Amino acid sequence: MPKIPAALTLFIAAILTGCASTVKKPDDNKAKQACISEVANKPTAVTHDTATQIASINPRHNANSVQTRRYSVIKTGPTQDQSQLLDVMITVTIPNNIHTIRETVKYLLKRSGYRMAPEPVQEQEVSQFLSKQLPSIHRKIGPMKLIDALNMLTSPAFILVDNPVKREIGYRLKSKYQPGVS
């Protein structure tokens, strides 16, 4: 739990106990001093509720941040890349030993936590397309999001199908490219 300066803790405690007021009255100073000294003599524990109230008092703090030093606040929680695995930014040069689009997709997914859907799930058109030679223009990819790179490899004929439950991706032929559709 981060340490909160003593003055801020006293101020918060005074607000929570109703000792602090924004309206000044002539005889109110003595009452405030008595109330603050009463609060100062009580042990104060900073709880989650107190931290939430600090956030409402001080706009620099919010429920997703922690004060690490006097003037340093860091955000807590997962980053966008950690929450959306396919939105991570990549810059990749595809090695020369990779020859097909399928191998390239597998290479891009290697450290993403995702894998390609099994062959039987893929349509015949998708399987044939993925076995084609990788165009040399696609050997250098990025900087771009992983999902954009995966879409780029198969555009414009295929749609990326993401299964976040199994963490698998596959492709589906767009309807306008289906056999027999004009």
Give domain limits for the chain: 6-75, 81-177
Statement: residue 63 has pLDDT above 50: yes
**CB atoms near residue 54 (< 10 Å):** 19
Is residue 6 predicted with pLDDT exceeding 70?
A: no
Q: Do 99 and 73 touch, CB atoms closer than 8 A?
A: no
Residue 12 vs residues 6, 28, 44, 61, 167: alpha-carbon distances, Å: 10, 19, 10, 14, 46
Q: What is the pLDDT of residues 147-178, one digit of tens each?
A: 999 999 998 999 999 999 999 999 999 989 88
| Phi, psi dihedrals of residue 77, rounded to the nearest 5° | 100, 175
Q: Cβ–Cβ contacts within 10 Å for residue 153, how many?
A: 21
How far apart are the C-alpha atoms of 36 and 32, rounded to whole Å?
6
Extract the tokens encoding 46. Answer: 């900073």
Mean pLDDT of 43-53: 48
